[in-house]
Amino acid sequence: MRVLHSDATIFTVRSIVLRATRATFALTMLAVMVVALAGCADEEVTVEEETSATAGSAMAGPVAEVNVSEEALASQPEGMDLSTPEAAVRAYLDWSSYAYRTAQSRVALPTMSTNQEVRVDSYIQYNIQQGRLLDQALTSITFGEQREDAERVHVPVKESWSYTYVSTESEADIVSGPHEVSYEATYTVIPQGDDWVVDEVKATALGTVE
């Protein structure tokens, strides 16, 4: 994984409306942490940007200052194909990875349902509270046979990742990594208008997750 070292964007996350208890947050995190690489109290926030670069978020949590490099912001995926269940999974992986890297869950919202949005938000907020951002890259993915269930499609995959935790205070500081991990995962994909979006992720790590 590369070390982020270019000029940084600093923005402040401020809570507006608290909609979930601390207990709910804790329970959510237990479920979220296992599947975060495969693929917060539930609050609404605004992001007050302190440089001219664009930084947006739909995250929740206490006031926090987050340092995001210009290089990370510029690494936005190209396009967002949601035309088939497999394409939707690929788009979700690309855009949720970008969201984790830049602490901007809003950018990935078109690839997921509101159920999955809560999980992604929660994991981003958890990492911020730990003083880190997740910089991950998908190194390989193999799709299995899809299974339809009413209006849902279950997409099994085997996937491998490399990932690094980068400090929220200085993008040049590596908190941990690089690490590697593989998963067997199933993505539940549902129709949303003319598109497909990820509604749930169930993953089993084939090794230790740092």
Domain ranges of the chain: 8-205
Percent of the chain with pLDDT over 90: 56
Q: Counting beta carbons within 10 angstroms of the beta carbon of residue 159, is it exposed (0 to 12), middle (13 to 18) or buried (19 or more)?
A: buried
Query: How many Å apart are CA 23 and CA 71, to the nearest integer?
Result: 36
Q: Quote the pLDDT of residue 32.
A: 45
78-116 residue pLDDT tens: 999 999 999 999 999 999 999 999 998 999 999 999 999
Instruction: Tell me the average pLDDT across 53-81.
Output: 73
What's CA 45's distance to the chain center, in Å? Answer: 17
Instruction: Tell me the average pLDDT across 194-199.
Output: 97
Q: What is the pTM of this model?
A: 0.74
Query: How many Å apart are CA 77 and CA 64, to the nearest integer?
Result: 26
Locate all alpha helices (DSSP H) within 7-145, ordered by sequence. Answer: 22-35, 70-73, 85-102, 114-129
The CATH classification of domain 8-205, taken from the options 3.10.450.50, 3.30.565.10, 3.40.640.10, 3.40.140.10: 3.10.450.50
Q: Quote the pLDDT of residue 77.
A: 95
